[in-house]
A and B are shown apart, each in its own frame.
Chain A
Amino acid sequence: MTEAMTAALPSAPELAEIVDQVWASFLEGELIAVPEPDLARPYDGCLVAWVSIAGDWTGHLSVVCSDAAARAIATDMFQLDDSEVTTAEVADALGEIANMVGGSVKGMVGATAVLSLPQVVLDAAALVSPEARRLVTVQAHWKDELLEFSLWERQPGNGGGK
Chain B
Amino acid sequence: MTVQAIVIDDSSAMRMILRRIVTKLGFEVDEAVDGRDALDKLNAAEQVPDVALIDWNMPEMNGLEFIQAVRSDPRYSRLTLLMVTTESEQSQIVRALAAGAHEYLIKPFTPDAVAEKLEILGLTAGV
Q: A residues near B, CB below 8 A?
A: 21-22, 24-26, 74, 77-79, 88-89, 92-93, 95-96, 99-100, 102-104, 106-107, 110-111, 115, 117-118
Contact = CB atoms under 8 A, between A and B. Distances in A.
Contacts of B11: 92, 95-96, 99, 118
B88 A78 contact: no
B40 interface: no
Given A26-B17, A77-B13, A107 B108 contact: no
Interface of B: 10-14, 16-17, 20, 57, 59, 85-92, 107-110
A78 B86 contact: no
B10 A117 contact: yes
B59 A77 contact: no
Residue of B86, B88, B90, B110 with highest tally of chain A CB at under 10 A: B86
Contact of A111 (B20, B89, B107, B108): B89
Nearest to B55: A99
Contact of B92 (A25, A26, A111): A111
A95 B57 CA distance: 13
